[in-house]
Amino acid sequence: MPCTDPRMRPRGLARLALLLSPLLLAACESAAPLVATPPPSVTPELQTRYQYALSLMKSGRDRQAQAALERIAQQEPRLAGPHVNLGILHIRAGRWEKAEAALRKAIELNPANAPAWAHLGIVLRHQGKFDEALTAYQKALSIREDYALAHLNIGILYDIYFQKLDEALEHYRRYQALTGESDTQVAKWIVDLERRAAKPENG
């Protein structure tokens, strides 16, 4: 099933379009650390290069960031973090197969990497693998319950694809609580879902 199912209601398409926009995706990523903390054995020189690669990502210089992260991954193949960030870069560019490969490599190296699971969920949702995406988001939250990105994305999955309004509301509200209720768009989604959820009770 493609990412944009023709049966999807218009408000669902609007949610998905907003989530996949570069600005919102970047905002979601900034809600949690982009990478796992490298192990103590990492040298100061490699850590400096790692931080420089992240600064390139944050400034939108994705091509340079990708090259820097690939060099780090080649030099120290035991680190999961570079692969997580390569996966994020591939998501930004719409390279979904490469994103999945990078994120699965990160999980292989560190199964407890919550960002890897959360971003893998985004990839799987795009591929139409909604049950697998749900499992990935749940895995991310089992590792880090306060991971705002995972709450937002699992909420969207429940809302648009599974039509489970109560579950969607729970995760949208948790996302807002974790981010200081600063996301006005998600606030509108919550109001919309509350209104829809109340309709059967009101006859």
CA 116 – CA 83 distance, rounded (Å): 8
Confidence at residue 5, expressed as pLDDT on a 0 to 100 scale: 39
pTM of the model: 0.81
Q: Which residues are CB-contacts of 149 (< 8 A; sequence separation ≥ 6)?
A: 28, 29, 31, 32, 115, 118
CA 129 – CA 62 distance, rounded (Å): 27
Residue ranges of domains in the chain, CATH in brackets: 10-198 (1.25.40.10)
pLDDT along the chain (203 residues), means of 10: 40 49 35 42 87 94 96 92 95 96 96 96 96 98 96 96 95 96 92 85 50
- Nearest to 106, CA basis, from 163, 39, 36: 36
Confidence at residue 83, expressed as pLDDT on a 0 to 100 scale: 95
Confidence at residue 84, expressed as pLDDT on a 0 to 100 scale: 95
CA 124 – CA 132 distance, rounded (Å): 7
Confidence at residue 182, expressed as pLDDT on a 0 to 100 scale: 84
The pair of three-digit structure tokens given for residue 44, joined into one six-digit string: 């100061």
